[in-house]
Amino acid sequence: MLSSIQVLVVGRHEEIMQTVLRLINSTPDWEAAGALEDEEAIELFQQRRFDLVLIGGGVEPESEAKLRAIFSFQNPLVKIIQHFGGGGGLLFAEIRAALTAQQEGNYAILDNPFQS
């Protein structure tokens, strides 16, 4: 039996986070955990194996760069995408596109997040 797709959601707004988690967790074979703070996200990422990290639009650019660098260093195969809202349909499409690209071996090359 295949294991479920593990998604880490990083955001800054509690209500939006709960909605995104509910939507993802309502999909068979998907399981999501959320973090409102960078430190919480890093701790969760170290404790579990995530297939995908979803970064919400409210995450500051400096935090996003830091999280991308840490997550990519710890797991070079993890797919990291941004989600700025737009409802469940867009959320599902973004996740499915990222997972499809990951399965096909199409990984995005990240710029150096430490450069300004």
pLDDT tens digits for range 2-57:
579 999 999 999 998 999 999 999 999 999 999 999 999 999 999 999 999 999 88
Task: Kindly report the pTM of this predicted structure.
Answer: 0.79
The band of 114, judged by pLDDT with boundaries at 50, 70 and 90, is very low
Whether 74 has a pLDDT exceeding 50, the answer reads: yes
The pLDDT score that the predictor gives to residue 112 is 44
Tell me how far apart the alpha carbons of residues 34 and 16 are, in angstroms, rounded to a whole number.
11
CB under 8 Å to 18, separation ≥6 — which residues?
A: 34
Q: Are strands 52-56 and 79-83 parallel, antiparallel or unpaired?
A: parallel
- CB distance 67 to 24 below 8 Å: no
The pLDDT score that the predictor gives to residue 97 is 78
Q: Which amino acid appears at position 51 of this protein?
A: D
Instruction: Decide: helix, strand or coil at residue 27.
Output: coil
* 24 φ, ψ (degrees, to nearest 5): -65, -45
According to the CATH classification, is domain 8-103 in 3.40.50.2300? yes
The band of 105, judged by pLDDT with boundaries at 50, 70 and 90, is low
- CB distance 72 to 78 below 8 Å: yes
Mean per-residue pLDDT over the chain, rounded:
84
